[in-house]
Structure 1
Amino acid sequence: MSEQQPGGRVLVSSGAVWEPLVGYSRAVRVGAQVWVAGTTAAGPDGRAVAGTAGDPAAQTREALRRVRAALEEVGARLSDVVRTRLHVTDISRWEEVGRAHGEFFADVRPAATMVEVSALIDPTLLVEVEVDAVVVTDR
């Protein structure tokens, strides 16, 4: 669900219980720019959703589906994405994550970074994705 704020700022919530606790939004749009917060394949309990546990490619796909939904909520598309950041807990599995990323961005080819992190908020989560986009108005 999105919330229009003064000055044209639009906030998107995923409905996660920790958003108000931590003080963040799934996505924020100001003008033509959109920022999508770190997005995982976490279910309501914070653990990886069924079918993604232990599978970084499946978690990447799920996170990117959620990213796409947040972008669409503010009138953006995957084709507007200019930068992605992938945080993975096991860099030796980079190719699985990279191929899943490529399924969404092969034609877009945003600037992308993949880094290994020691852990995410739950040990069943293996991948977190951040996205920046610039909405192109002359489609």
Structure 2
Amino acid sequence: MSRRLISSGSVFEQEIGYSRAVVEGDWILVSGTTGFDYSKMAISDDLLEQTEQCFQNIQAALNEAGSSLADVVRVTYILPVATDFPRCWPIMRKYLGDIKPAAMMLAAGLSDPRMKIEIQVTAYRKAEG
């Protein structure tokens, strides 16, 4: 199976030179994804709205790859303010609570001061059969 690149249409992907996701065999690697609504190229000021949009963006990339959040095996959360992390837990639980992937949280600066969270996932799509 050959490598397949998935784009969200974000100008960032073109400007920086990356893909929203890369499909390699049964693996789907989704880049760090922020709360930008790419259809409007806008981002909410609210952390929880950004978290929700992150998951919607990730879900869209996984769907395009023929996968879903149910296939997520690893997630990394990056927040500029570590103490904000617990506020996001209900949304994280909404999307991944039944899946329970391996997870890690980092506190680090993000590339745009409007960004309050970035989420990266790895999914493994099991062969049908």
Give your verdict on TM over 0.5: yes
Q: Which residue of 2 aligns with 1:4?
A: none
Q: Which structure 2 residue ranges, 5 or more long, are not aligned?
A: none
The 3-state SS of whatever aligns with 2:118 is strand
Does residue 72 of the first structure (1) align with residue 68 of the second (2)?
A: no
Taking the aligned partners of 2:81 and 2:90, their CA distance within structure 1 comes to 15
CA apart distance, 1:99: 2.0
Q: Which residue of 2 aligns with 1:85?
A: 76
Structure 1 residue runs of 4 or more that deviate by more than 6 Å after TM superposition: none
Taking the aligned partners of 2:12 and 2:116, their CA distance within structure 1 comes to 19
The 3-state SS of whatever aligns with 2:14 is helix
The size of the alignment, in residue pairs, is: 128
Map Cα deviations across residues 58-108 of structure 1 (whole Å, 9 max, x no partner): 211100110000000010110000000000011111111222111100100
Q: Which residue of 2 aligns with 1:59?
A: 50
8 Å Cα contact 2:37-2:53 kept in structure 1: no
Q: Which residue of 1 aligns with 2:36?
A: 42
8 Å Cα contact 1:11-1:28 kept in structure 2: yes
Taking the aligned partners of 2:126 and 2:47, their CA distance within structure 1 comes to 31
Q: Which amino acid aligns with 2:75?
A: T
Taking the aligned partners of 1:64 and 1:28, their CA distance within structure 2 comes to 17
Does residue 26 of the first structure (1) align with residue 16 of the second (2)?
A: no
The 3-state SS of whatever aligns with 1:95 is helix
Select which of 98, 101, 107 maps to 1:107: 98
TM-score using structure 1 length: 0.84
CA apart distance, 1:43: 4.5
Q: Which residue of 2 aligns with 1:95?
A: 86
TM-score using structure 2 length: 0.90
8 Å Cα contact 2:32-2:118 kept in structure 1: yes
Q: Which structure 1 residue ranges, 5 or more long, are not aligned?
A: 1-6
